[in-house]
Structures are given as C-alpha cells and as structure tokens.
A and B are shown apart, each in its own frame.
Chain A
Amino acid sequence: MNVPTMADMMAQGKQPEVLFWVGAAGSYDDRAKKISRAFVKILHQANVDFAVLGTEESSTGDAAKRAGNEFLFQMQAMMNIEVLNGYEVKKIVTCDPHSFNTLKNEYPGLGGKYEVFHHTQFIQNLISAGRLKIDDRTLKGKRVTFHDPCYLGRANEEYESPRDLIKRLGVNLTEMKRHKSTALCCGAGGAQMFKDAEKGDKEINVLRTEDALETKPQIIATGCPYCNTMMTDGIKFKEKEAEVLVKDIAELIAEANNL
C-alpha cells in the first residue's frame, strides 16, 4: 500500500496537505494496524495528498506523561517537535485520540503548534468538501453502538464527528446508557493499558462491554485503538465474538465503500 513518508516528499520537493500521525498502536499493534490501513484507504479514495513520518515518528509521550513521567514526555515532545517543525508540518491527522490530545493541547506550549484532527473530524471535513462519499447500503440497518473515547469526548468535547459518520453508514445507532459526557472509560487511559489493574471486583473493560451489550449491538464502533483493544477483550471475555464485532469507524467506512 502506498504510504509516502515526509522524507520521500521532501526529496521530491513536495509538501503534503496533511501529516498522518500513526501513533505507536497504529504502527505496531496487529489489531490497530488494520485501522491505520483502513484510514489510508479512505485517504487514497478521497485523493488526499498525505505523508507519514515513518521511522522518524516516535511516541508522543502521552503514556509517559499520564504515568507521571513529565521528563520523558517532554523529551519525546521536543524531539518530535524538532522533526515536525523541520518538515514545516502545519496539519496533522491521527486515529489515536491520545496522540490527538497531546499534539493538539500539550505540544503548543513546547513550541509545536499544528492544526490537529482526529480522523473522524478529518473524514467529516472530506465529506463536507465533497471529496468523499460514504455508501450507506453496505451496512444498512446494522445495529451499532458507539463507545466514546475519553480523550476525544470529555477531554476535547468532540462527540458529534464520530456519530455523524456512523449515521452516514445507514446503520441503526443505539446509544449506551452512559454516553457522550457520561461515557464510561474503557479502562486503558492514564497508562492503564500498560499495567495490570489494581485490586478490585471487576475489570473496567468488562463493565464497559456490559454497557455496550445492553444495546444488543451487532457492531461496537470505536474511535481509538486502545478502546478497540479493551472492547475486543471484553467481548471475548463475554464470549460474544460470534455475534458482536468491534470496529473502528475508519474500518466501517472502508468496508462500506468496499475499499
């Protein structure tokens, strides 16, 4: 699949319209890589001139910061900012709400000022600009529920972009009882993804999966690779893999458009 890097672009003396920040999960995690590829297919379909940093991309430092390691975060941030500013990047899109939040809110104070989009926002813009259409026949009538990522929702108050895209799929969107600003975390945030949970009586992802299952969904839509992992694990725990799929919105759009 054709994924140009900023280095390639520069060698050709070109400046892409947008930088796709893939993030660690999107680069290395087998499940999340599928989301990255689905998003790239959408970018190709809409003829978006994009590039990635490739091997020059490094952790945003989000997980380190939330774990309390401000040193490591700022080291990562300053390294990344040097690279991004070196390429004169203006616009960034990412499928990871954690990268989205960190790049958008925490990098400006350290000298990295960019226009940052979550992929659902970016796709929504492509649709409004008439560059992309979503086929509403492929998934028509499927029961879908959407799990709000904390770092897109409460953290940045973006609740509508993902929902707008889901509605365009022609599916039947059913909200969980806790949604939008009252949505329950999947359990991965704040660096929890990388450690075992403290002693308790339940895993958070199981509780959230139960919220989702109450809506009797065929598909749980996500907008974050970490949420995706947590919900997928929750569905496995509940032994519902045969009935319920966990898919990122980018994957659903790629599927709808037969990409």
Chain B
Amino acid sequence: MQYLPNIIFAIALLAGIGFFVMNIRKLSRNIKLGKNVNRTDRKPERLKNMIKIALGQSKMVRRPLSGFLHIIVYVGFIIINIEVLEIIIDGLFGTHRIFHGILGDAFYGFLIGTFEILAALVFVAVIIFWLRRNVSKIKRFLSKEMKGWPKNDGNNILYFEMVLMTLFLVMNATDTIFQTGGVGNTISQFIAPLFDGLSPETNHIIERACWWVHILGILVFLNYLYYSKHLHILLAFPNTYFANLNPKGQFTNLESVTNEVKLMMDPDADPYATPAEGTEEVVPEKFGASDVADLNWVQLMNAYTCTECGRCTSSCPANLTGKELSPRNIMMKTRDRLEEVGKNIDANKGTFVDDGKQLLNDYITPEELWACTSCNACVEECPVNIDPLSIIMDMRRYLVMEESAAPQELNMMMTNIENNGAPWQYNQQDRLNWANEE
C-alpha cells in the first residue's frame, strides 16, 4: 500500500496528458480541414518572427501596461514550470524536493526563491488583469461578443492562476523542513507565520493537500486549454511562424480566377472545346469562402490562436464608429463554426454531414463584411499576427463572385470600371483632360 500515492499520481498524470493529446489531435484535424497554403518558404524570416513576436512578446508592449503585466505572467508561467518538473518526479518516485539534493542548498534556494518571487508577481498581475476585466470600464472587454462564456472564460483563467500561485506559496509556507532550512523561502517566510499555531502534522497535511491540488490543478488547466481562448499559449508559436510575410497591402491573386481570365483574354481559346483526352470533368473551384473549409489552414489556426484580447477591435475604424464589424468577433465566430464542424465530424464517424449551416450568414453577416475598410489596423495590432482581414476578403469574394450580392453602389462602381475604366461614370477619352484644366 505504500506505493498507492505514486500509483494514483501516475494514473492522474497519464490521464491528464492522454486527454490533452487526444484534444490536440482533434485540434490538428480541424485545422487541417482548411485549404492548403504554402507557408514553409523563407524559413529564417519565419523563425525570426516567432522568436521576436511569440517568444519575445515584441508586439505585446505596443500597449505598455497590459504588455508589461502580460510579460510577468508569461515569464512566471514558463519559469515556474521548472518546479512542475520536480513535482512530477517527486510524485512518481515518492521523493521530496528531489532537486534540493541534486542542486545543493544555494542553487536550489536561489531557484525556489526566484519562483516564489515570480509567483507573487504573477498573483499581483493577475489581480490587476481581473480588475481591468471586471472593474475598470475598458471598452474592449465590454463588447457585445464578450458576454457570457467569453467573459467567464477570461475570468476562469485568472482564478485558475490565482489559485495555483496561492497553492504553490502555501505549500512552501507549510513545508516545515523547507522553512527551517531557510533558503529559497523568499516570499513564503511571510506566509508561514499564519500557520504557526498549527501542529507540525497539520502543517504537513496542508502541505500535502496543496501539493496534490496544485499538480492536479495544473493537469486540469492543461485540459481546460482546448475549451478556452487560452490555447494561445501554445498556438502563438506556430501562428507567428506561419504568418503572412508579404506586405500587408498585398492581397492574394486567386489562381483559379487567373486561369479563367487568361482563357477569356486569349483570342485563340475555344471555350466550347472538348477537354483533352485524360483530363477529368472537374467541378469548377468555388470562389472565395462561405464556410470554414473554404478558408486555408493558417486562417483556421488563427481562429484557435485568438485569445480574445480585442486589441484588433479597439483599433478597427468600423468598430470605433459603432458598426457591427468586430475583427475579434470574426475570429471567434470562425472558431465557433470550426468547432461545430469538428463535433459534427466526431458524431458522424469521421465524415461531415451537411447541417444546413455555414460560416456566412449563420455566423458572420454581410453587414459585418461590408463595413471593413481593409485598413489593416487589426492585423497590425494583433500580438500574435492573426489576420482577420484575409477572412473578411475571402468572404467578400464569395458574396460577389458566387452570389453577386455586393451592395448596389458597389455594383455600380464595378460596372463603371468595366465600361469606362474608372469607378465613376466618366468617358475614358476624357482621362487626360486634367492636364489642361488650369
């Protein structure tokens, strides 16, 4: 029976990691529902972006206060995870603070002392984040799309972090041997007196309880990620790596259109020619996007990466002037629809069964799409290089080329371009009149 805790620990660890791996597989399958797009060129540039933007958080500090607080939580998160490694080894082998013996008093004390300081800083940062979300009236946290689950999700994550940091510090505070040793208890020495009146046994029980709840909490949190906006802690890395590297103003030229336009402009082409021997009857490719499977996999990964911070929306000219469009909501709706499609595939043994819904209209309305000025403010602002504009453009393409559903004024503009080479109705022959008008 003496190995019971080790066994329970091993089972919990396996279950936690196993469930996580299962969800990551689902995530990867859903992302792969997107169309292919080549983002494996210019590798050094991509790597540099990932290191600078995801690892180095360079775009976070465009907003100094939230950027600074985020870096504290981020650094805390990464560094405190070294402690989790010790916890896992201790849990599996029934040791206690195994690194202490290996690393020696001074170095171990330095490490744990640093973790404690970080834990306290993270705790404070998280409290400020909570206040910003719930008390200060910061507009981007109060938008329409931030009601209900997205708001609770944001708070849940903060509560998780508060609890985990508290458990870590209380665990150290009630570890009487650790406190007596007096190295590395930088912060916990001030918490320890709270437990002074209790017997060593009670202290030990509290310490053990904190230890267990802390590690189980981490496993639960790991598995919470998939259901939450918090996936960005993992996806920020591939997302910045595979992001678009071309100038932001450069929109893709649709290849399927190029082929047709070339055919139209080729005087020798015969549109009624029978296809050459061996070429199959192919269904003409759909222009633009009306559902998630029409988007490319990077756009779908963008949707899962979005952590709903709303920096995009708070810089969007359409949103700032009260229009329905919110770039953050474009990403959230794309993710929600993708999740729905994924669940549909799960429920139907691996194939998608038409549910009569699509991203367009059922999630994203034309009103939102037509409000965009294509100014790229959302793309510029995103701390992890998400591109909501590319989704908006692909959906406009569908509306115009598949459904001829552009606003009337835009149809007039396009007719003018077709007829007289300008968006307004002027005579092409008058195009140089400006030169002689003064």
Contacts and interface: CB of A to CB of B under 8 A. Distances in A.
In the complex, which range does the number of interface residues on chain B fall in? 35 or more
Interface stretch (B88-96, B121-129, B356-364, B423-431): B423-431
B414 A67 contact: yes
Contacts of B247: 101, 104-105, 155-157
B296 to A, nearest CB: 16
B422 A27 contact: yes
Contact of B414 (A55, A72, A155, A204): A72
A33 B406 CA distance: 29
Given A24-B422, A54-B431, 4 more contacts: A67-B406, A68-B398, A70-B253, A106-B253
Contact of B413 (A63, A65, A182): A63
A185 B373 contact: yes
Interface stretch (B255-263, B336-344, B346-354): B255-263
Contact of A27 (B372, B431, B438): B431
A75 B265 CA distance: 8
Contacts of A257: none
B417 interface: yes
Interface of A: 1, 3, 5, 22, 24, 26-29, 33, 36-37, 40, 52, 54-55, 57-59, 61, 63-72, 74-76, 78, 101, 104-106, 109-110, 150-151, 154-157, 181-182, 184-185, 187-204, 207-208
Given A58-B421, A59-B421, A75 B288 contact: no
23 contacts: A27-B433, A29-B424, A64-B417, A66-B251, A67-B413, A68-B396, A69-B406, A76-B421, A101-B247, A105-B250, A106-B250, A106-B251, A109-B253, A155-B247, A184-B377, A191-B374, A194-B413, A195-B413, A197-B323, A200-B322, A200-B324, A204-B317, A207-B317
Given A24-B423, A66-B374, A66-B393, A155 B248 contact: yes
Contacts of A72: 414, 417-418
A57 B261 contact: no
Contacts of B323: 197-200
Contact of B434 (A37, A185, A208): A37
A110 B288 contact: no
Given A1-B435, A37-B438, A157-B247, A55 B373 contact: no
Interface of B: 62, 246-251, 253-254, 257-258, 260-262, 264-265, 287-288, 315, 317-318, 320-325, 367, 370-377, 379-381, 393, 396-401, 406-407, 409-410, 412-414, 417-418, 421-424, 426, 428-438
Contacts of A198: 318, 323-325, 367, 370-371
Identify which of A74, A110, A201, A208 gathers the most chain B CB atoms within 10 Å of its CB: A74
Given A28-B424, A72-B418, A207-B317, A101 B249 contact: yes
Contact of B436 (A1, A71, A74, A190): A1
Main secondary structure of the interface of B (DSSP, over half): helix
Contacts of B325: 198
Contacts of A5: 432
Contacts of A3: 432, 435
A75 B251 contact: no
Contact of A63 (B320, B373, B423, B431): B423
Contact of A61 (B324, B412, B417): B417
A204 B373 contact: yes
A84 to B, nearest CB: 14
Given A59-B417, A66-B374, A74 B253 contact: yes
Contacts of A193: 423
A191 to B, nearest CB: 6
Contact of B249 (A22, A151, A200, A204): A151
A106 B380 CA distance: 20
B435 A204 contact: no
A1 B251 CA distance: 37
Given A1-B436, A194-B413, A57 B421 contact: yes
A70 B257 contact: yes
Contact of A185 (B257, B260, B317, B437): B317
A187 B317 contact: yes
B397 A70 contact: yes
A250 B185 CA distance: 66
Given A3-B435, A106-B251, A156-B249, A70 B377 contact: no
A67 B421 contact: no
Contacts of A66: 251, 374, 393, 396
Given A106-B253, A198-B325, A202-B322, A37 B435 contact: yes
